[in-house]
């Protein structure tokens, strides 16, 4: 009987869970393993296509979870293939005037702007030896995990570079952008945090662990020039958690910043940026706009020259920075 794998097949969720190293029922895993082995042991075109489908579906599932960094910072829209996402941006417009009685009031418009942009692709082309696939040496879970990880990292890097490209230009200046020489300087950083506490009632500070740890030294009171007093429990908290949970009422969040590959010191995100995110705003107000067009799709082929079997995975996506009266975000750069 020919095996058919669909997007909602149980094998997809099992493969996804295995790639995430989650705990699974051993019976279910055994069943799924058997299914993949059955497919791989008889590598006719139909079965190879089904494995490629499985990898594609599983990576798609994983992407939706792993790109959570983007969900924190960006306004994310998912659209179907060939569709365009439209991002609404509110422009400053309506104004009131104090004037003489009966004078003509100037008209001001409640204005909106719509932004949409083209997508690009992130693509990954892992290959395995055809024989290794057949005898089960090449594990589908590893293939899924590696492909997903690299695709996610590549996309995240793109999102970050788009955001950084918009910094310190246009309206992305004080108090939304500030810089310090190899340090977080309180006189520069605090007004940026206070700006959001004043505007939206709260803020979160997100950054690499190395830099959020530096915030602890900015707490405490200056009793005399160049000496500071710290509360004892703050010292303990800093020592226990590498950073304080709150800074001037703003929540401090660690940005998960993994390495690009095992054994390299190449980080996914640049560590010298601290993001100050206003609390309680609608995601559509965030300046970084991200669109995913369609799901991850897969194609497979066997190479007759070297007996390798490869899958090509593609996801259409893009990012842009767009805002109206002000960017609802602060970025502090450690220069």
Partner 1 sequence: MENNIRLYNRNKFNVGVVTPGKPYGQNIVPGGFILVSQDDIDYLTATSNALQSGMLQLDKEKQKELAEQTGIDTENNANFMSDEDIKKRLSGNANQLKKWLSGEIELYTLDRIAEIAMTMNLSANKIQVLQDRMPNYEFIKK
Cβ of residue 275: shortest distance to partner 1, in angstroms? 15
Q: Binding residues for partner 1, how many (CB under 8 A)? A: 26
Cβ of residue 323: shortest distance to partner 1, in angstroms? 13
Cβ of residue 89: shortest distance to partner 1, in angstroms? 15
Cβ of residue 214: shortest distance to partner 1, in angstroms? 11
Binding mask 201-240 for partner 1 (x = CB under 8 A): ---------------------x---x-x------------
- 216 within 8 A of 238, measured Cβ to Cβ: yes
- 331 within 8 A of 274, measured Cβ to Cβ: yes
**Which residue among 148, 152, 178, 313 contacts partner 1 (CB under 8 A)?**
178
Of 226 and 239, which has the nearer Cβ to partner 1?
226
Cβ of residue 47: shortest distance to partner 1, in angstroms? 50
Binding mask 266-305 for partner 1 (x = CB under 8 A): ----------------------------------------
Cβ of residue 335: shortest distance to partner 1, in angstroms? 5
**Which residue among 187, 232, 240, 306 contacts partner 1 (CB under 8 A)?**
187
Binding status of residue 184 toward partner 1 by CB under 8 A: yes
Cβ of residue 208: shortest distance to partner 1, in angstroms? 17
Binding status of residue 180 toward partner 1 by CB under 8 A: yes
Selected range binding partner 1 among 6-14, 27-35, 54-62, 176-184, rule: CB under 8 A: 176-184
Binding status of residue 173 toward partner 1 by CB under 8 A: yes
Binding stretches for partner 1 (CB under 8 A):
165, 167-170, 173-175, 177-189, 191, 222, 226, 228, 335
């Amino acid at each position: 009987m020919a095996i058919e794998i669909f997007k909602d097949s149980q094998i997809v969720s099992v493969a996804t869970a295995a790639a995430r190293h989650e705990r699974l029922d051993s019976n279910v895993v055994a069943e799924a393993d058997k299914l993949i082995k059955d497919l791989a042991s008889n590598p006719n075109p139909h079965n190879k296509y089904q494995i490629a489908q499985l990898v594609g579906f599983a990576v798609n599932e994983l992407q939706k979870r792993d790109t959570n960094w983007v969900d924190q910072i960006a306004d994310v829209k998912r659209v179907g293939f060939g569709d365009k996402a439209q991002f609404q941006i509110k422009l400053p417009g309506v104004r009131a005037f104090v004037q003489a009685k009966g004078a003509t009031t100037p008209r001001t418009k409640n204005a909106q702007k719509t932004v949409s942009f083209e997508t690009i692709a992130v693509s990954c082309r892992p290959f395995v030896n055809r024989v290794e696939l057949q005898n089960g040496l090449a594990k589908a879970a590893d293939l899924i995990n590696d492909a997903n990880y690299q695709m996610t990292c590549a996309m995240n890097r793109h999102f970050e570079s788009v955001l950084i490209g918009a910094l310190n230009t246009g309206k992305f200046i004080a108090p939304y952008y500030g810089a310090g020489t190899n340090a977080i300087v309180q006189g520069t950083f605090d007004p940026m945090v206070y700006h959001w506490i004043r505007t939206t009632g709260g803020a979160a500070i997100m950054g690499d662990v190395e830099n959020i740890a530096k915030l602890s030294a900015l707490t405490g009171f200056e009793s005399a020039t160049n000496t500071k007093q710290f509360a004892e429990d703050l010292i303990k908290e800093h020592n226990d958690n590498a950073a304080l949970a709150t800074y001037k009422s703003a929540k401090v969040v660690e940005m998960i910043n993994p390495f690009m590959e095992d054994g390299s010191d190449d980080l996914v995100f640049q560590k010298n940026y601290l993001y100050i995110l206003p609390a309680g705003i609608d995601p559509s107000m965030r300046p970084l706009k991200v669109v995913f067009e369609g799901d991850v799709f897969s194609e497979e082929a066997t190479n007759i020259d070297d007996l390798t079997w490869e899958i090509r995975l593609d996801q259409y996506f893009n990012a842009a920075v767009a805002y109206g009266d002000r960017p609802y975000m602060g970025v502090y750069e450690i220069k």
